[in-house]
């Protein structure tokens, strides 16, 4: 990020499944050093310079991450990995889940299931529980990561059954936002002191962001620290201290929002504070002392459980679920029964503009619900149903997922009945259908106008690109290997020459010494280039070096 801020991509999770004109996305764009543009169907695209290709969907960035994880897993296991369980924030909506599944497919993975992150952490915690527990245990999972926040209340029994009672959260609240508050603070201080505007300097802002993130981590173990950056902007060095108290003050509203969401989750689960047996911390941002203090105070001094690894719990739980889905014979894994919930209400827009909820939030999944509706205009030939997700009364204030149409015979209003069916699968992904039942027409329709789905053609292109990038990576590794082999040989020749003494004092002919110096100089010039050359060029130079230097080195060693 320090060296190449406009080409360093992060926060793709905040882009995936969103529309370009999303208000929060527009706010984020002001803070990102890389450029985001509007693509087809209002899908945002990240603009970078890579091998001549400059625009990437967030799904493509996510698929690259998944490809890397796939390679790491395959290197460790020594076999091909084809299946995956992918975790997402509990408050990811339908579009974001669909987009995540598309990213998995583009990475060449068969996505067995999409699972909520706090639910995955609950699996890890449940497997770690003592087997002699005879009563149900209510566990609050407090999952605060780099970009998202989720809180879930789950009930775990001694048989390994995990039932999610309620979820709450914010897909736009996490460590990144705490960093942003510090960046804003220091930028204002710098601008006021030096009467300038550092905000336009992308590289300076990138360096400041990296320093703020480190300072945030340091403040979890000390009460004050200093940010020092040489030549930050317009040749001016920057040095300024910050205390833990100031950091907490800058983020007071965000910290308080986390506790409000905990309170909301308790209400949705119809539980009191005393009903919660354990409070489990997940995610790197839960290391912030004030977060822990506020959470502990909210639960009247109850100790927080740190039995599971905050950074690994989610992946660990997902791995356990993957083992179960693949028929792992381990008894504890086999006994696992998982009952998750719908994070946000799902419904259709009514003629008066209000949302008619078909599936309520926190309903257990998988779930199938239906509702009878009737025509509202005389002689309608089709009925268009707009599908929304959210908790607002007015349909338009919620998240529009798409629409579908039902063909109906012409009749007076109110005479035809439509059966609208919503079905949410184990991934939390919605499937819709509808049928006209009055006249016996049993045709079914699915959502045909998904607002954010990538087309099959685009996904196929992403698959091909993934293979191309895989070949690019192999070629890059070859170049790096050849570059390093040449560099090591040059270093070795120089080291041996110096250890023996001055070359000029040996009995080796002067022309041979000059020839050796010339090939070493040529090799150094090749190594000093900013970009990697062809493998053949490195190998040719190394062969020439060995041909000239090896006999001379052999004489020097005698």
Are 138 and 275 in contact by the 8 Å Cβ rule? The answer is yes
Are 385 and 404 in contact by the 8 Å Cβ rule? The answer is yes
Per-residue model confidence (pLDDT) at position 217? 95
Per-residue model confidence (pLDDT) at position 181? 95
**Over 70: is that where the pLDDT of 256 sits?**
yes
**Over 60: is that where the pLDDT of 285 sits?**
yes
What is the arithmetic mean of pLDDT over 285-312?
93
Q: Reduced to 3 DSSP states, what percent helix, strand and coil does the chain have, rounded to the nearest 5?
A: 45, 25, 30
Does residue 129 have a cis peptide bond before it, meaning omega lies within 30 degrees of 0? Answer: no
- Of the ranges 57-61, 278-282, 489-493, 530-534, which one carries the lowest mean pLDDT score? 530-534
Per-residue model confidence (pLDDT) at position 131? 54
Are 163 and 339 in contact by the 8 Å Cβ rule? The answer is yes
| Domains observed in the chain | 5-173+254-339 (3.30.420.40), 342-452 (2.60.34.10), 458-557 (1.20.1270.10)
**Over 80: is that where the pLDDT of 52 sits?**
no
Per-residue model confidence (pLDDT) at position 290? 97
What is the arithmetic mean of pLDDT over 495-501?
64
Residue with the bigger pLDDT between 442 and 178: it is 178
- Of the ranges 167-181, 236-250, 328-342, which one carries the lowest mean pLDDT score? 328-342
Report the distance separating Cα 32 and Cα 329, nearest Å: 47
pLDDT confidence of 281, banded at 50, 70, 90?
A: very high
**According to the per-residue pLDDT averaged within each range, which of 100-109, 293-302, 307-316, 461-470 is highest?**
293-302
Helix axes 252-268, 175-194, angle to 10 degrees: 160
Report the distance separating Cα 556 and Cα 503, nearest Å: 8
Per-residue model confidence (pLDDT) at position 558? 59
Handedness of CA 392, 397, 399, 404 (dihedral sign): positive
The first and second tokens of residue 398, run together, are 């919620």
Residue with the bigger pLDDT between 18 and 374: it is 18
Report the distance separating Cα 399 and Cα 40, nearest Å: 19
pLDDT confidence of 451, banded at 50, 70, 90?
A: very low
pLDDT confidence of 448, banded at 50, 70, 90?
A: very low
Per-residue model confidence (pLDDT) at position 438? 67
Per-residue model confidence (pLDDT) at position 338? 84
**Over 60: is that where the pLDDT of 449 sits?**
no
Per-residue model confidence (pLDDT) at position 393? 86
- Of the ranges 36-50, 108-122, 263-277, 446-460, which one carries the lowest mean pLDDT score? 446-460
Are 458 and 57 in contact by the 8 Å Cβ rule? The answer is yes
Residue with the bigger pLDDT between 405 and 557: it is 405
Residue-wise pLDDT tens digits, 542-557: 888 888 888 877 776 6
What is the arithmetic mean of pLDDT over 5-9?
88
Are 293 and 301 in contact by the 8 Å Cβ rule? The answer is no
**Over 70: is that where the pLDDT of 6 sits?**
yes
**Over 70: is that where the pLDDT of 218 sits?**
yes
| Mean pLDDT, rounded, of the chain | 86
What is the arithmetic mean of pLDDT over 476-500?
80
**Over 90: is that where the pLDDT of 270 sits?**
yes
Report the distance separating Cα 95 and Cα 44, nearest Å: 13
Q: What is the DSSP letter of 426?
A: T
Distances (CA, A) of 152 to 165, 267, 531: 8, 12, 49
């Amino acid at each position: 990020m320090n060296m190449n801020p406009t080409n360093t991509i992060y926060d793709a999770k905040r882009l995936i499944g969103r529309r370009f004109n999303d208000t929060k996305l527009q706010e984020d764009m002001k803070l990102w050093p890389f450029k985001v543009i509007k693509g087809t169907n209002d899908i945002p695209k990240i603009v970078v310079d890579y091998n001549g290709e400059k625009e990437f969907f967030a799904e493509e960035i996510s698929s690259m991450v998944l490809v890397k994880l796939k390679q790491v897993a395959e290197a460790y296991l020594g076999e091909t990995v084809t299946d995956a369980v992918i975790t997402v924030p509990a408050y990811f909506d339908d579009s974001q889940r669909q987009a995540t599944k598309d990213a998995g497919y583009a990475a060449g993975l068969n996505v067995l299931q999409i699972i909520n992150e706090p639910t995955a952490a609950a699996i890890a915690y449940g497997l770690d529980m003592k087997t002699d527990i005879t009563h149900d245990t209510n566990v609050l999972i407090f999952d605060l990561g780099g970009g998202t926040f989720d809180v879930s209340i789950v009930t775990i029994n001694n048989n390994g059954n995990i039932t999610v009672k309620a979820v709450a959260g914010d897909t736009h609240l996490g460590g990144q936002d705490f960093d942003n508050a510090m960046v804003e603070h220091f930028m204002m201080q710098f601008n006021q002191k030096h009467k300038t505007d550092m905000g336009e300097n992308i590289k300076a802002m990138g360096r400041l962001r990296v320093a703020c993130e480190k300072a945030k981590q340091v403040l979890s173990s000390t009460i004050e620290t200093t940010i020092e950056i040489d030549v930050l902007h317009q040749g001016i060095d920057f040095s300024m201290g910050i205390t833990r108290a100031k950091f907490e003050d800058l983020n007071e509203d965000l910290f308080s929002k986390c506790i409000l969401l905990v309170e909301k989750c308790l209400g949705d689960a119809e539980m009191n504070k005393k009903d919660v047996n354990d409070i489990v911390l997940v995610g790197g941002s839960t290391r912030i002392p004030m977060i822990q203090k506020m959470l502990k105070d909210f639960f009247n001094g109850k100790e927080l459980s740190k039995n599971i690894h905050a950074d690994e719990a989610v992946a660990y739980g997902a791995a356990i679920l993957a083992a179960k889905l693949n028929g792992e014979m381990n008894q504890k894994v086999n006994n696992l029964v998982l009952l998750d919930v719908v994070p946000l209400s799902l419904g259709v827009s009514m003629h008066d503009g209000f949302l008619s909820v078909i599936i309520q939030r926190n309903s257990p999944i998988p779930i199938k619900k239906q509702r009878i509706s009737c025509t509202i205009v005389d002689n309608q030939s089709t009925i268009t149903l707009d599908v929304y997700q959210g908790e607002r009364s007015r349909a338009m204030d919620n998240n529009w997922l798409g629409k579908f149409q039902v063909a109906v015979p012409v009749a007076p209003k109110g005479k035809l009945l439509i059966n609208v069916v919503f079905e949410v699968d184990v991934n939390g992904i919605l499937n819709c259908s509808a049928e006209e039942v009055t006249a016996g027409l049993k045709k079914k329709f699915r959502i045909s106008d998904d607002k954010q789905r990538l087309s099959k053609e685009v996904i196929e292109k992403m698959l091909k690109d993934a293979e191309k990038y895989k070949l690019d990576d192999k070629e890059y590794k070859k170049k790096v290997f050849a570059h390093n082999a040449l560099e090591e040989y040059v270093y070795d020749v120089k080291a041996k020459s110096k250890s023996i003494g001055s070359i000029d004092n040996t009995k080796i002919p002067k022309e041979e010494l000059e020839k050796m110096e010339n090939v070493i100089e040529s090799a150094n010039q090749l190594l000093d280039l900013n970009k990697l050359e062809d493998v053949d060029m490195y190998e040719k130079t190394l062969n020439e070096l060995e041909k000239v230097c090896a006999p001379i080195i052999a004489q020097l060693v005698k």
